[in-house]
Amino acid sequence: CLVGVERKPDVFANFGDRYFLTMETIIPVEATLDLEGVPVRVKNINFDGLGRTKGDFVAEAVKEIFLAKNFGDLLQKVGNAQDKLSRLETFREVSAVVDVHNISEIEDYKIGDDYDVTFIVKEFSRLAASAKTQMGAQADAQVKTGIRMPNVFGRGEKLEVEYSYSSGSEKNSEISFLKPFPQYLDSSFKTSVFQTRSPNVHAKYMNKAIGSIMSFSCSTFLQLLTLHHKVEWEATWREIVPENTLTPYSIRLECGHAIKSALRHTVTLDSRDRQVFPSKGTYINFLQELAGIGGDAKYHKLDFDLQYNYPLPLNMVFQTSFRVGKLTPFGTSEKSCGIADRFFMGGPYSLRGFCMRGLKIGQDGLSLGGLEHWSAAAHLYTPLPSVNRKFPIIDSCRLHFFVNAGNLADKFLAGNIFKDIRIAYGAGLAVGMGDFARLELNYCLPIRQLVGDKPVKGFQVGVGIHFL
């Protein structure tokens, strides 16, 4: 139920040689109007601004508008159609206008039941270049450049070429092609060819890879929740190279060529109101991977990630998170489950209060990873105390209090799941960096660690998006 409306003398705004009911002409009156009690019948759906986009492609996104039975339902379906059109990544702008079907029928400010809906769109240009900065896999600054050709054949196809380089000498290049199928659960198919060169400064080796990935994505609906599915097949040639002559012998044993052929399935549920500093909602990500459909790598991997946010008074947020994973090799070769596939723990992203890859350290002072892991954390985020709010960055800052715990092993027995637990707590400052990352500066106090671990007692800095 919205506020009632009455018409001004210039109720219809001129748009070329046509006239449309506009939001500027609606003014509140004392009476209220039940929009669900106003019957409507949609006669036509028009598009203004289509160029190379095919009509049958956009028709799938708007066809439900014809099912509207009342004005409230019509407005809701028009809004849903606008969202669908925007998600096609074909239009720079999308707006909608609801118009009386036959303007000559209007007499004494009375409007009939028949309406037309017009979508006014602006397409992306045929060729676009981009350059942006982001966080790399090693939490270093990364510059990504690319050339994109959207809507190549008029039905939302996208061809993209990307190249990225990080301050840590990580290099990535990729050519990808995406074909959307919005009529089938917002699904899409993507194929890509890539080449990566990624140094791992914490384990003193270089990971080189050339491969291809084919993926199919779709969404399913469970009552008010949306589940996003992605099925991928990856075929990759990998080479682990020692960083220099000082690379430990345990790492050198992991070096050499290997071929990986794997099938992955990822299910994601995200009901958070935003990614950076969410105030409410739940995030769930479940991944399972089967490697061994050809190639050297042969294992089955499960990984689960959960985050829950609960709003508190005074704009405070209580957050809990939990991660668990298990990797099961089923090959006899040492390359069945190499260092590039195992789990690692430690650092501001997986277990605060410990160095990057600072758990399960071997004789050479480096971690070779583990086959099973779990970690949990509790956080309290609060706004800064009353300070001068002239600077917008103040609103992007939060005080952060946390306690986290976890464990990493090759196999958890009944007695060592909690026996070898590592625990740390602390407090600090978290700063949001737009909608894509945040910076954390925490003072950490480890209170439980094992011999050989690398704890951090003092300040620890992390910049990224996926934190425990």
Q: How confident is the model at residue 109 (pLDDT cuts 50, 70, 90)?
A: very low
| pLDDT greater than 80 at residue 38 | no
Q: How far apart are alpha carbons 60 and 39 in whole angstroms? A: 24
Q: How far apart are alpha carbons 275 and 281 in whole angstroms? A: 10
pLDDT, mean over the chain: 82
Q: How confident is the model at residue 3 (pLDDT cuts 50, 70, 90)?
A: very low
Q: How far apart are alpha carbons 230 and 261 in whole angstroms? A: 17
Q: How far apart are alpha carbons 387 and 394 in whole angstroms? A: 8
Angular region, 391: left φ>0, alpha ψ -120 to 50, beta rest: beta
Q: How confident is the model at residue 7 (pLDDT cuts 50, 70, 90)?
A: very low
The pair of structure tokens assigned to 455 is 């704890």
**What would the mean pLDDT of 245-256 be, rounded to a whole number?**
83
Asked whether the whole model's pTM tops 0.75, one would answer yes
| pLDDT greater than 60 at residue 105 | no
Nearest CA to 429 among 388, 392, 381?
A: 381
For the chain, the distance separating the N- and C-terminal CA atoms, rounded to the nearest angstrom, is 43
Q: Looking at residue 9, what is its pLDDT?
A: 35
Which domains can be identified in the chain, with CATH numbers?
2-123 (3.10.20.310), 182-464 (2.40.160.50)
Helix (H) or strand (E) holding 78: helix 71-87
Q: How confident is the model at residue 322 (pLDDT cuts 50, 70, 90)?
A: very high
Burial class (CB in 10 A: 0-12, 13-18, 19+), 62: buried
Angular region, 185: left φ>0, alpha ψ -120 to 50, beta rest: left
Tell me the per-residue pLDDT of 384-415, one tens digit each, with 9 for 90 and over.
876 655 666 777 889 999 999 999 888 766 56
| Residue 320 β-bridge partners | 308, 378
